[in-house]
Structure 1
């Protein structure tokens, strides 16, 4: 019998990113960061008052990864939850980083006690999630991510996958509504572990989110 499959994001799911990114912007680039949106460019403003363009935001992100990844810290209870879940499921970390950062991410997560396969991606995550499901042929699959756009992408390309919206940074979570395309929103790994284990135990494909809303 095939095992379940857990596909999880990394930044703001397994490791904290924005708080350390904000510190770096403040210390090195005179850029202020607010926690008002999941769209990073909207949260960044130069000390002189000008907002940043999408192109400028991406330039700063590419400056942070991989050179500043040593600043990042693990999300509370993530290590323990992933270790427990990996005893019953295959685990893949699907992270939106450039391919040259893959080795850095593998080493970073291994140092935190999360030694699992890392797949780098650019753009929507629906297509790579569908590819991973086809590769593993799991009894059931669960996807965890902090960005609503990726839940929508997975809903379109791999609708049978359960989708859990998690935003582990408290300052960011407070201003982000639950992703409409996700089946649940849980920001704490202890509760998330129980929710994922229940999906594994049932071994049923995910229903449309609309069906959950009417039951």
Structure 2
């Protein structure tokens, strides 16, 4: 069942306790639980850069203040690594995320599936706890569909996947199409740059809408 899952992710799965008799919510962290872009803008400002908001992608939009040139693509991974080192434990929480997840945890088991680099998983866990979202974390590498399939394979109740990245919804549809795929982008500026993910079940705009969707399907037991 772990075929295609990154070797650094597999050991983390063994630590996740799954109750097949409870619904499951699998949620991304950046731009779902945490305001990634607000933190990124602070980081860029401190390092002589800014985000140009021309598209949803980081590449091409991170620019140098002194001449407005785009940072070279090959430098983006290093910038992201430094950003997570500095901010993974300190990003501001999305409005309503902690309170809503706490309420939803009375009805479903909650797992955070984040593509934070595994070496910063402890920082991310610290950030989750600080923000009142002390849920199990999987620091994933790559597309998320196979991990979602693994986590939900034995469930007898509805399951839900929340993410801002369209290709993650496509991956979950490919490997676990029975999962409700909820497309949510917390930053309104980013949300305006990207329409609903083609492979999502629904595009929702805030945690109130996410909660309403999830609870309505849990109550009707609709898979």
TM-score, normalising length from structure 2?
0.86
Q: Secondary structure at the match of 1:32?
A: strand
Determine the structure 2 residue equivalent to 1:33.
51
1:177 corresponds to which of 186, 190, 195:
195
- Of 195-204 and 55-64, deviating more is 195-204
In structure 2, do the counterparts of structure 1 residues 168 and 138 end up closer, same or farther at CA, with 3 Å as the change threshold?
farther
Q: Secondary structure at the match of 1:74?
A: coil
Using the TM superposition, give the Cα deviation of residue 70 of structure 1 relative to its aligned residue in structure 2, in angstroms.
4.6
Structure 2 runs not aligned, ≥5 long? 1-19
1:146 corresponds to which of 164, 174, 185:
164
Q: Does the CA contact (< 8 Å) of 2:51 and 2:62 recur in 1?
A: yes
Determine the structure 2 residue equivalent to 1:159.
177
User: Distance in 1 between the 2:80 and 2:213 partners?
Assistant: 32
Q: Does the CA contact (< 8 Å) of 2:54 and 2:61 recur in 1?
A: yes
User: Distance in 1 between the 2:158 and 2:77 partners?
Assistant: 35
Determine the structure 2 residue equivalent to 1:20.
39
In structure 2, do the counterparts of structure 1 residues 16 and 81 end up closer, same or farther at CA, with 3 Å as the change threshold?
same
Structure 1 runs not aligned, ≥5 long? 206-215
- Structure 1 stretches of 4+ moved >6 Å: none
Q: Does the CA contact (< 8 Å) of 1:38 and 1:147 recur in 2?
A: no
Determine the structure 1 residue equivalent to 2:137.
118
User: Number of residues paired by the alignment?
Assistant: 203
Aligned residues: CA RMSD? 1.5
User: Distance in 1 between the 2:46 and 2:106 partners?
Assistant: 41
Q: Secondary structure at the match of 1:174?
A: helix
Using the TM superposition, give the Cα deviation of residue 71 of structure 1 relative to its aligned residue in structure 2, in angstroms.
4.2
- Of 65-74 and 97-106, deviating more is 65-74
Matched, 1:76 2:95: yes
